[in-house]
């Protein structure tokens, strides 16, 4: 028999004052910001210094000299050209292929669902591992792709080892890895479009090509912009595929920003120039992101106004 006069157990437990609760809840976001901004501002400081890892005693501020030197440096302009060529070539081709595959798989059937799942397999492969796989397949001695190229008359096709075809090779690897990402994003967009405009067009006998250009494509534009934004940001910062395939070669044919910064830091030990390159890459990425997001917001407002 329990004692009626025994004090009730304290069930309050650990409590946080309402005054401090917002600060506690925002603590993870604050720690994340610190983890992001601390390396960023460290790179900014290094980019304003003449700093070589092999000569730590000679480290001093040069207040933008690293950036000014880029204006007269042919290697920098080559890096900018190669990075832009690679980014926009891969994104344009991946958008075309991804959209074409998504249109083919738009209808919900078991076969289409199975094919869409199987096409995601390259996306599950690490880009560096995919590059090594392609490096083996394009080997002139035993590579399957070199053998197939020989069957159609392309004898001694040197793939990534030839300056004339190195860009083509790494673009093919990028397309193989990342086209499924655009495909699945656009496929989700196509299957989420309202059916009423398409049913009305079918009843009126409107040609399919007209329906695609006048109905499907305008309604799919926000999804296209989203896919383009993600892929442009990823492509312009590409490192693993190019470095695993060619280490930026042959010569300087594939020295994109990330590879050039890596080589400057670890081979030339020029930390200041490496940091300045990454700051310029950040500025280019920010500008492109701003343009895409601005257009995406404009399209969303336009769609709301029409609704």
Q: How confident is the model at residue 8 (pLDDT cuts 50, 70, 90)?
A: low
Q: What is the DSSP letter of 60?
A: E
Q: How confident is the model at residue 306 (pLDDT cuts 50, 70, 90)?
A: low
- Comparison of pLDDT for 18 and 261, the residue scoring more: 261
The pLDDT, as a whole number, for residue 81 is 93
Neighbours of 300 (CB within 10 A): 12
pLDDT per position as a tens digit, 38-58: 989 998 999 988 888 888 777
Q: Is the pLDDT of residue 294 over 90?
A: no
For the chain, domain boundaries = 74-306
Query: Is-contact 292 243, C-beta < 8 A?
Result: no
CATH topology of domain 74-306: MetI-like fold (1.10.3720)
Among 6-20, 132-146, 166-180, 282-296, top mean pLDDT goes to 166-180
- Comparison of pLDDT for 206 and 100, the residue scoring more: 100
Query: Sign of torsion, CA 218 219 220 221?
Result: positive
Q: Is the pLDDT of residue 13 over 70?
A: no
Q: How confident is the model at residue 14 (pLDDT cuts 50, 70, 90)?
A: low
Q: How confident is the model at residue 295 (pLDDT cuts 50, 70, 90)?
A: confident
Query: Tokens standing for 154?
Result: 């392309």
Q: Identify the bridge partners of residue 49 per DSSP, sorted by sequence position.
A: 61
Query: Is-contact 185 223, C-beta < 8 A?
Result: yes
In Å, how far are 73, 194, 225, 285, 291 from 301, measured between CA atoms?
43, 18, 15, 24, 16
- CA nearest neighbour of 52 among 67, 66, 72, 40: 66
Determine whether 98 is exposed, middle or buried from the number of CB atoms within 10 Å of its CB (0-12, 13-18, 19+): buried
Distance of CA 230 to the CA centre of its chain: 5
The pLDDT, as a whole number, for residue 1 is 47
Q: What is the mean pLDDT of the segment spanning 108-120?
A: 90
The pLDDT, as a whole number, for residue 277 is 92
pTM, whole model, 2 decimals? 0.85
């Amino acid at each position: 028999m329990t004692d009626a006069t025994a004090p009730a157990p304290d069930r309050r437990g650990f409590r946080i004052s309402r005054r401090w609760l917002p600060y506690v809840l925002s603590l993870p976001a604050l720690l994340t910001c610190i983890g992001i901004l601390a390396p960023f501002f460290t790179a900014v400081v290094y980019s304003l210094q003449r700093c070589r890892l092999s000569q730590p005693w000679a480290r001093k501020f040069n207040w933008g000299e690293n950036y000014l030197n880029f204006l007269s440096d042919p290697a920098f302009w080559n890096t900018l050209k190669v990075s832009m060529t690679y980014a926009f070539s891969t994104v344009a081709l991946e958008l075309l292929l991804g959209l074409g595959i998504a249109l083919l798989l738009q209808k919900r059937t078991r076969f289409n669902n199975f094919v869409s799942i199987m096409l995601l397999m390259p996306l599950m492969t690490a880009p560096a591992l995919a590059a090594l796989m392609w490096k083996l397949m394009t080997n002139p001695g035993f590579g399957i792709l070199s053998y197939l190229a020989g069957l159609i008359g392309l004898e001694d096709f040197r793939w990534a080892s030839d300056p004339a075809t190195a860009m083509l090779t790494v673009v093919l690897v990028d397309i193989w890895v990342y086209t499924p990402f655009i495909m699945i994003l656009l496929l989700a967009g196509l299957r989420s479009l309202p059916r009423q405009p398409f049913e009305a067009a079918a009843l009126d006998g409107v040609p399919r090509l007209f329906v695609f250009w006048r109905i499907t494509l305008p309604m799919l534009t926000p999804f296209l912009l989203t896919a383009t934004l993600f892929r442009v940001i990823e492509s312009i910062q590409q490192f693993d595929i190019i470095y695993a395939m060619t280490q930026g070669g042959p010569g300087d044919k594939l020295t994109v920003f990330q590879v050039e910064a890596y080589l400057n830091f670890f081979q030339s030990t020029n930390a200041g120039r490496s940091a300045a390159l990454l700051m310029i890459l950040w500025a280019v990425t920010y500008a492109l992101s701003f343009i895409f997001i601005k257009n995406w917001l404009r399209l969303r407002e336009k769609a709301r106004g029409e609704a």
